[in-house]
């Protein structure tokens, strides 16, 4: 009985803060490039398609990385697993910083995504170490760190690139990886395996989970669509703000990350709301918020205030989508939390990759109106899927 109290002590106070910071810095690797896309493409004399490829391949690499490494969280000590991934991530960031060709840069972006999955190993681990009654609240705190990394990464990278170069951003990120390794070994408790399945069977079990769990199917579909909507805006933002009437540089674009940071503290409250209302209700609210955000995007060509309001609402909706879906999944099968998270987050970031590609294409062809229409369509489809699964569950109960 000594181990649980020791674990609880480790996870209190500074431990939760440190693990939240690790989640933030890990996921930040996916977003450093977004304010820098025009600069990065220009370095290799490439056009808008290269900007979309950089954003899309980083997200797609992350989705594949989740699929490959996420299940190992149920099989191996998570600290050792994350250490190996961070060392490879550090090398990938260094390759990105020194890339001499567009093809080399794109390969480095894929590798960065493949190995930036530490947050999605920490969160399932911690969810199994806390009381079920407060699981949503604790996950919300970890998600506060994750979302801070998601948003503030853009601000940091935009500022650094404006005063140095985009390559310096990735050099700095590599140094941060070293600090993260130290924090992991200081604050994350050692974890025991919850599954002894061989690796091939762990991978095959992902498909069986998806087929047999309707809740997982629903979460994957809604997560895909709502995160796609989130990335429609952010992948296209640097491109749109570089054009009339704004003409903003990377530093100014990066500052828009601070607009979304207004809601960072909301993640814990969203987790508590999920504990009381239930995950499906909160995810439905998330889809409605995201739709409202894209309605506001329509006015972005007229005045900056419309864009700022849309980003704030979009951020809140995206937080609610992720926190609520993860909270309800972690309560489903305690012995398969890492694999459930793997299936969900793989679909989630595949949605991010699709949204990045759609966002740059819509922006290039139809401007702000195209971005708005794409996001509204994603949110509408998510609401429809939620309605279908709600009816399906009610029919099963009856």
pLDDT higher than threshold 50 for residue 273: yes
* Residue 305 lies inside a defined structural domain of this protein: yes
* Residue 2 lies inside a defined structural domain of this protein: no
pLDDT higher than threshold 80 for residue 276: no
Quote the CA–CA distance of 179 and 381 in Å, as a whole number. 41
Question: What is the average per-residue pLDDT within 36-45?
Answer: 90
Report the number of distinct structural domains present in the chain. Answer: 1
Cis amide linkage into residue 245, ω under 30° from 0: yes
* Residue 315 lies inside a defined structural domain of this protein: yes
Sequence-ordered alpha helix ranges (H) in 242-336:
250-260, 266-277, 279-297, 304-330
* Residue 149 lies inside a defined structural domain of this protein: yes
Instruction: Tell me which DSSP letter residue 193 carries.
Output: -
Between 232 and 11, where is the model more confident? 232
CATH number at residue 283: 1.20.1250.20
Q: What is the pLDDT of residues 152-209, one digit of tens each?
A: 888 899 899 989 999 999 999 999 999 999 999 988 887 777 778 888 988 888 999 9
* Residue 194 lies inside a defined structural domain of this protein: no
pLDDT higher than threshold 90 for residue 218: yes
**Model confidence band, residue 4 (pLDDT cutoffs 50, 70, 90):** very low
Residue showing tokens 């972006």 = 109
Question: What is the average per-residue pLDDT within 307-324?
Answer: 89
End-to-end CA distance of the chain: 42
Average per-residue pLDDT for the chain: 86
Residue showing tokens 């998570």 = 78
pLDDT value at position 395? 62
Between 11 and 119, where is the model more confident? 119
pLDDT higher than threshold 80 for residue 76: yes
pLDDT higher than threshold 60 for residue 2: no
pLDDT value at position 267? 60
Percentages (nearest 5) of helix, strand, coil residues in the chain: 85, 0, 15
pLDDT value at position 224? 96
* Residue 1 lies inside a defined structural domain of this protein: no
* Residue 125 lies inside a defined structural domain of this protein: yes
* Residue 330 lies inside a defined structural domain of this protein: yes
**Model confidence band, residue 271 (pLDDT cutoffs 50, 70, 90):** low
Domain of 54 in residue numbering reads as 9-189+199-397
pLDDT value at position 260? 64
């Amino acid at each position: 009985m000594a181990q649980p109290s020791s674990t609880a002590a480790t996870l209190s106070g500074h431990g939760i803060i440190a693990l939240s910071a690790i989640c933030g810095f890990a996921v930040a690797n996916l977003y450093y490039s977004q304010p820098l896309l025009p600069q990065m493409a220009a370095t290799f004399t490439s056009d808008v398609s290269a900007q979309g490829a950089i954003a899309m391949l980083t997200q797609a690499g992350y989705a594949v990385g989740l699929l490959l490494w996420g299940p190992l969280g149920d099989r191996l000590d998570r600290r050792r697993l994350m250490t190996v991934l961070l060392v490879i991530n550090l090398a990938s960031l260094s390759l990105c910083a020194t890339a001499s060709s567009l093809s080399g840069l794109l390969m480095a972006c894929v590798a960065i995504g493949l190995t930036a999955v530490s947050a999605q190993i920490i969160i399932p681990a911690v969810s199994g170490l806390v009381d079920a009654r407060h699981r949503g609240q604790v996950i919300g705190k970890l998600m506060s760190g994750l979302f801070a990394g998601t948003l503030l990464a853009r601000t940091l990278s935009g500022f650094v690139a404006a005063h140095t170069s985009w390559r310096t951003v990735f050099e700095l990120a590599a140094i941060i990886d070293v600090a993260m390794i130290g924090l992991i070994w200081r604050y994350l408790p050692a974890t025991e395996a919850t599954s002894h399945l061989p690796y091939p069977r762990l991978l095959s079990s992902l498909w069986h989970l998806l087929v047999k769990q309707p809740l997982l199917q629903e979460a994957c579909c809604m997560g895909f669509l709502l995160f796609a909507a989130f990335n429609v805006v952010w992948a296209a933002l640097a491109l749109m703000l570089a054009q009339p009437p704004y003409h903003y540089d990377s530093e100014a674009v990066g500052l828009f990350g601070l607009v979304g940071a207004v809601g960072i503290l909301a993640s814990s409250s969203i987790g508590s709301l999920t504990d009381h209302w239930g995950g499906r209700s909160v995810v439905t609210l998330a889809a409605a918020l995201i739709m409202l955000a894209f309605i506001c995007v329509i006015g972005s060509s007229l005045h900056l205030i419309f864009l700022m309001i849309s980003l704030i609402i979009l951020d809140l909706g995206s937080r609610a989508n992720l926190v609520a879906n993860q909270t309800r999944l972690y309560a489903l099968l305690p012995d398969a939390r890492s694999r459930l998270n793997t299936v969900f987050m793989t679909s989630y970031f595949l949605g991010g990759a699709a949204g990045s590609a759609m966002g740059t294409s819509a922006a290039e062809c139809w401007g702000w109106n195209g971005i708005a229409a794409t996001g509204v369509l994603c949110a509408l489809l998510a609401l429809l899927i939620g309605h279908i699964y709600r009816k399906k569950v009610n029919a099963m109960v009856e």
